[in-house]
Structure 1
Amino acid sequence: GMHMRLAEIPGLAHVAERLGRRLIDVRVPPANIPVASGRKRSGKRLLTVGTDCALGKKYTALALWRAFEARGIDSDFRATGQTGIMIAGGGVPMDAVVSDFEAGAAEMLSPDAATDHWDVIEGQGALTHPSYAAVSLGLLHGSQPDVFVVCHEPGRREMLGTAGYELTSIEEIVALTIRLGSRTNPAIRCGGFAFNTSAFSAEEAAELMARESERLGLPVADPIRGGPAFDALVASCLA
């Protein structure tokens, strides 16, 4: 399982030692994480949030960061999960942090920066997920995002891993993120929506995203498909 450390599995550790191999556990938080202060930090921050787990928060953050870089904007991708950490070469595995230090870890992950610098922060879980809401809230409070992008998979009906819990609506996630996020950043706003349209054809996806963009009043794009819709999402985040 993802929360098991390789070095703590006796058989694996023994074989690694016998063969002279090194076991690398990525899901280990740094030492001496502080309790969050809530102090407003300099620089700008974007956080990806979601209506559920495993629907594109990491990829969306990476795509937005690469788009910022392509536009000559000083920015960093801030990883909060083990795959993101392996991509970025660093970060904090937020779901391995003790709850009281979640927000502090997010503050440490995204420190003071230049006024025009953007930290694009990988989101985790969902604020309404019965299992993982705690890590989502700590990350939201600690990262103090100026902008958030809601990630969603059209057609998904139930929360991942919790049968019987219906997916929260996009509108409720926006309202909840603003309500809770404004505690540490009163200026928080939604920049738009990132849809995982892998189950749709290109034509179906384009029609769906255009319709939802008109209904929601903000850009809707699939970061993997890119195109003008994604350019509009990037522009909205930077506006």
Structure 2
Amino acid sequence: MRDPYCTEGRPDPQIVSGAPRLPESATERAMTIRKPYLLYLGDAPDNLAIKMAQGVLDWRPDWCLAQWRRAGAGVALKLPEMTPEAAADQGAGTLVVGVVNAGGVLPEDWIDDLRRALEAGLDIAAGMHVRLRDVSDLGEVAARLGRTLTDLRVPDRSFSTGKGTRRPGKRVLTIGTDCSVGKKYAALALERGLRAAGADADFRATGQTGRLIAERGVAVDAVPADFIAGAAEWLCPAADPDHWDVVEGQGSLFHPSFAGVTLGLLHGAQPDRFVVCHEPTRTRMRGVDAALPTIAQVIETTLAMGRLTNADIAPAGICINTAALSEADARDTLRAAEDSHGLPATDPIRFGVESVVAELLR
């Protein structure tokens, strides 16, 4: 059984084919990254480590030419293997570092590979917290060769503090029981589902992978804590009363490492509705020794915290990553969630999002 969120398999093309519409707001500037991409996996040990590369491949397959891995890599994408020299000969424009890791650091033994990519004629885009130009001599090499370094996680502007003022337009935020449970995929699927239902909707990226997919947005985990809510307000400003901003969630309100980012995003996004995202086989939160909260706990806490900036906040549905389950078990899990919480429950990749979209538009 493939995992459509973070493995080699791709989601159902009926659900994810095509590209999310780009926001037209004057508050955002589109990034310009040369295509197609050579996706660099380094020596990533598992599928969750390459979720950035997998996400770009799933949602922008036409932009992805090949992959490049180090010896010892434990995973691969369904792409040809190429060196940077071969990829450049085939027309590649940018080496995308498609790996995420704890703390967003760039391993020392990858630096020679990135230097080699620059020498081969490629630009580099990465989503690490460290700035590429500050790593060893990469900035000097890029400047000498006329290459572009794009830091997807580093904000390209400053933000004000959040004000909490109610603003027109509708917003839905994906909220997780944990990290890496499918919040981005759920948001992208919801944006597409809303548009298919005739609604005016835009995906609002809040992480490095989402920014690469949408070519817009802000990685809120790289924004100083005092300004996260303000960054979210900038990202989804006042809009037409019938317009939906579908805001990509980050972290979890229950995660000891990342709850602060999640809370700031919740207050700034000021969502009218939220969708809980969950992975049913986990018992502990990723990367820490903390128990996974229940869906009910997440709904209760999100309502309590979210009412600070939107007194009318309400849940709209539950998106569960059932990739590890058989179809029968998946349907039983979704049915149980619906019965327990009185909300539509679905796997957005496996079964679509029509039921949640219907609830949003009800």
**1:138-165 Cα deviation digits (max 9, x unpaired):** 0000111000000000011111111x20
Distance in 2 between residues matched to 1:175 and 1:157, nearest whole Å: 19
- Answer yes or no: is the 8 Å Cα contact 2:171–2:272 preserved in 1: yes
Partner of 1:186: 311
Shift of residue 30, structure 1, vs aligned partner: 3.6
- Structure number having the greater helix percentage: 1
Shift of residue 71, structure 1, vs aligned partner: 1.2
Partner of 1:236: 359
Give unmatched runs, 5+ long, in structure 1.
none
Shift of residue 212, structure 1, vs aligned partner: 1.8
Q: Residue 148 in 1 paired to residue 274 in 2?
A: yes
**Mapping of 1:75-224 within 5 angstroms?**
75-162=201-288, 164-224=289-349
Distance in 1 between residues matched to 2:213 and 2:152, nearest whole Å: 11
Distance in 2 between residues matched to 1:133 and 1:179, nearest whole Å: 14
Query: Larger Cα Rg: Structure 1 or Structure 2?
Result: 2
**1:111-162 Cα deviation digits (max 9, x unpaired):** 0000100000000000111000011000000111000000000011111111
Distance in 2 between residues matched to 1:14 and 1:40, nearest whole Å: 46
Q: TM-score, normalised by structure 1?
A: 0.95
Q: Say which SS state the counterpart of residue 197 (structure 1) adopts.
A: coil
Partner of 1:26: 152
- Answer yes or no: is the 8 Å Cα contact 2:129–2:154 preserved in 1: no
Shift of residue 18, structure 1, vs aligned partner: 4.1
Partner of 2:129: 3
- Structure possessing the higher relative contact order (Cα contacts under 8 Å, 6 or more residues apart): 1
One-letter amino acid matched to 1:82: Q
Q: Say which SS state the counterpart of residue 333 (structure 2) adopts.
A: helix
Give unmatched runs, 5+ long, in structure 2.
1-104, 106-127
- Answer yes or no: is the 8 Å Cα contact 2:133–2:140 preserved in 1: no
**1:198-224 Cα deviation digits (max 9, x unpaired):** 101222211211122112211110001
Shift of residue 98, structure 1, vs aligned partner: 0.4
**1:78-120 Cα deviation digits (max 9, x unpaired):** 0000110111110011000000001011111010000100000
**1:186-205 Cα deviation digits (max 9, x unpaired):** 00000010001110122221
Q: TM-score, normalised by structure 2?
A: 0.63
Give the RMSD, CA atoms, in angstroms: 1.2
- Answer yes or no: is the 8 Å Cα contact 2:316–2:359 preserved in 1: yes
One-letter amino acid matched to 1:211: A
